């Protein structure tokens, strides 16, 4: 079957992190701890300052199943600090040089959680040329997966400036929408200013859209905010990271500035709070676009309440595929509201599909497969046209399309040029 999709769009992604993974030292296939002595670094952006950085090792894939130690790294890399993140992102394997530079003591060379996250912040940044390499690697990865349009959730002033420069040189093979993430109300005015500043250098390919914050957590860690307890009993309903008075400020200030608000909302109660608040604020005369990121559980009443608002839900069917094994157990009575793409489509609430790379690979096929599989787990069959819901909704945003045949990308035309 031949499919021609205009403006194939990944509507929720982390651009630079995807490039960092693509261009950096990947350890996902490391066959044993000892194999670090054979890693190849040519052509990779593996150094931050003098630090060798890599990610993806997992001792469960090794014959020994044993956690690695700093002694091995000291032997192989005696001369510079080494910092290797585990696949789950919660632990790092480091050498003595790194511990010394960080002012930490550890007999094993394993840093976890807070020690790891704080240390990660202290490693010198990538240089501009490395970031350029990472962006090029990310473009290649998205293009090979058929995508011509992405919506990035993790912009910075530095990244925007670099993208402008790369577009001028003709190096950019993606249309990119940018959003700035923030975590505190104190930071809101700064990110609003950044987006407004970026808007002055918008171009054919680059669009600065708005700001993003996290309202709740995730279903996997049972921190997404639900209206019923996890597992159907007990007192864990998940949690929110904000109080509603502060969110009201965010909506008002962002919409007054003419920008979009994007909110990470996974649980049904989290989405309900955001939609209820958007209605309240709209009734006071503040109007703007609200993007619900993920929207993995939605009650029918919440969907109905979206109708008069400018809401778009950005969903990742591939996440369903990764989570399906425990969804029924965790959600219990709320399971009937999970991944409600069909209910949203029927209510004519705009949806866009994406992949959340690098958390999941950027793949149209993974989403297509998940949408086809989901009825097997009692999720209503999606009857919309995936070519429409996976395409960028603005038909004036470059002349681009992707041709797919027999589950393979056959041709990618970006901005009237064939790039694949
Ligand atoms: Zn994300």
Q: 321 pLDDT exceeds 90?
A: yes
Claim to verify: residue 180 and residue 234 sit in the same structural domain: yes
**Residue 211: its pLDDT value, please?**
98
pLDDT, tens digit, for every residue of 120-159? 989 999 999 999 999 999 999 999 999 999 999 999 999 9
Beta-carbon contacts of residue 208 (< 8 Å; ≥ 6 apart): 155, 160, 177, 178, 195, 196, 198, 199, 202
Q: What is the CA radius of gyration of the chain?
A: 22
Claim to verify: residue 66 and residue 140 sit in the same structural domain: no
Give the Å distance between the CA of 247 and the centre of ligand 1: 19
Number of structural domains the chain divides into? 2
Q: pLDDT tier at 90 (50, 70, 90 boundaries)?
A: confident
Long-range contacts of range 236-243, CB-CB < 8 Å, 24 or more positions apart? Answer: 237/269, 238/267, 238/269, 238/270, 240/215, 240/216, 240/270, 240/273, 241/183, 241/213, 241/214, 241/215, 241/216, 241/217, 242/213, 242/215
**Residue 190: its pLDDT value, please?**
98
% of the chain at pLDDT higher than 90: 96
Give the Å distance between the CA of 153 and the centre of ligand 1: 7
Q: Is residue 38 part of a domain?
A: no
Q: Is residue 22 part of a domain?
A: no
Give the Å distance between the CA of 194 and the centre of ligand 1: 20
Euclidean distance between CA atoms 364 and 203, whole angstroms: 26
Give the Å distance between the CA of 154 and the centre of ligand 1: 9
Q: Is residue 212 part of a domain?
A: yes
Compute the 3-state secondary structure of the chain and give helix, strand, coil in percent, each to the nearest 5: 40, 20, 35
Claim to verify: residue 61 and residue 142 sit in the same structural domain: no
Claim to verify: residue 208 and residue 342 sit in the same structural domain: yes
Taking a 5 Å cut-off on Cβ, the residues next to ion ligand 1 are 356
Claim to verify: residue 195 and residue 236 sit in the same structural domain: yes
Claim to verify: residue 90 and residue 110 sit in the same structural domain: yes
Q: Is residue 62 part of a domain?
A: yes
Give the Å distance between the CA of 11 and the centre of ligand 1: 10
Q: Is residue 92 part of a domain?
A: yes
**Residue 231: its pLDDT value, please?**
97
Claim to verify: residue 165 and residue 148 sit in the same structural domain: yes
**How many CB atoms sit inside 10 A of residue 280's CB?**
13
129 phi/psi in degrees, rounded to 5: -65, -35
Claim to verify: residue 135 and residue 113 sit in the same structural domain: no
Residue that finishes a domain, picked among 80, 98, 122:
122
**Residue 43: its pLDDT value, please?**
86
Claim to verify: residue 175 and residue 212 sit in the same structural domain: yes
Residue that finishes a domain, picked among 104, 122, 140:
122
What burial class does residue 283 get, using C-beta atoms within 10 Å of its C-beta: 0-12 exposed, 13-18 middle, 19+ buried?
exposed
Q: Is residue 35 part of a domain?
A: no
Residue that finishes a domain, picked among 122, 139, 163:
122
pLDDT, tens digit, for every residue of 16-35? 999 999 999 999 999 999 99
The reported pTM is 0.93
Q: Is residue 34 part of a domain?
A: no
**Residue 21: its pLDDT value, please?**
92
Give the Å distance between the CA of 286 and the centre of ligand 1: 27
Burial 221-241 (b: 16+ CB within 10 A, else e): ebbbbbbebbeeeeeebbebb
Give the Å distance between the CA of 198 and the centre of ligand 1: 21
Give the Å distance between the CA of 22 and the centre of ligand 1: 17
Give the Å distance between the CA of 12 and the centre of ligand 1: 6
Euclidean distance between CA atoms 343 and 340, whole angstroms: 5
Q: pLDDT tier at 163 (50, 70, 90 boundaries)?
A: very high
CATH of the domain at 370: 3.20.20.140
Structural domain range at position 57:
46-122
Q: 178 pLDDT exceeds 90?
A: yes
Q: Is residue 26 part of a domain?
A: no
Claim to verify: residue 116 and residue 144 sit in the same structural domain: no
Q: Residue 113: in which H helix or E strand, if any?
A: helix 113-122
pLDDT, tens digit, for every residue of 57-75? 999 999 999 999 999 999 9
């Amino acid at each position: 079957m031949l499919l021609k999709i205009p403006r194939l769009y990944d509507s929720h992604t982390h651009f630079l992190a995807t490039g960092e993974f693509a261009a950096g030292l990947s350890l996902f296939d490391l066959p044993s701890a000892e194999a670090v002595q054979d890693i190849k670094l040519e052509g990779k952006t593996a150094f931050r300052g003098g630090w060798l950085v890599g990610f993806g090792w997992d001792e469960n894939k090794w014959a020994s199943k044993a956690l690695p130690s700093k002694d091995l790294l000291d032997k192989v890399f005696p001369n510079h600090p080494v910092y290797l993140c585990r696949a789950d992102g919660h632990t790092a394997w480091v050498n003595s040089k790194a511990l010394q530079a960080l002012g930490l003591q550890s007999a094993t060379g394993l840093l976890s959680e807070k020690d790891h996250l704080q240390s990660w912040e202290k490693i010198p940044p990538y240089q501009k040329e490395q970031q350029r390499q990472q962006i090029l690697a990310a473009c290649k990865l998205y293009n090979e997966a058929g995508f011509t349009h992405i919506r990035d959730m993790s912009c910075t002033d530095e990244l925007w400036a670099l993208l402008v420069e790369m577009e001028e040189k003709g190096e950019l093979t993606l249309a990119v929408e940018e959003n700035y993430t923030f975590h505190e109300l104190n930071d809101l005015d700064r990110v609003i200013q950044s987006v407004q500043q970026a808007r002055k250098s918008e171009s054919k390919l680059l669009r600065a859209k708005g700001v993003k914050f996290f309202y709740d957590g995730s279903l996997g860690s049972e921190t997404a905010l639900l209206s019923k307890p996890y597992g159907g009993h007990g007192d864990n309903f998940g949690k929110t990271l904000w109080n509603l008075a502060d969110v009201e400020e965010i909506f008002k200030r962002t919409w007054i500035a003419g920008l979009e608000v994007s909110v990470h909302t996974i649980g049904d109660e989290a989405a309900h709070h955001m939609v209820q608040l958007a209605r309240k604020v709209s009734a006071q005369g503040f109007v703007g676009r609200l993007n619900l990121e993920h929207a993995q559980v939605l009650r029918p009443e919440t969907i109905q309440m979206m109708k008069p608002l400018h809401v778009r839900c950005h969903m990742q069917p591939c996440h369903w595929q990764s989570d399906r094994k425990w969804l029924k157990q965790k959600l219990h009575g709320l399971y009937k509201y999970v991944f409600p793409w069909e209910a949203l489509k029927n209510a004519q609430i705009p949806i866009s599909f994406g992949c959340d790379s690098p958390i999941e690979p950027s793949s149209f096929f993974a989403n297509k497969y998940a949408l086809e599989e989901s009825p097997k787990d009692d999720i209503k069959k999606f009857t919309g046209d995936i070519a429409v819901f996976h395409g960028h909704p603005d038909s004036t945003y470059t002349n681009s399309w992707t041709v797919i045949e027999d589950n393979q990308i056959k041709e990618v035309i970006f901005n009237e040029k064939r790039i694949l």
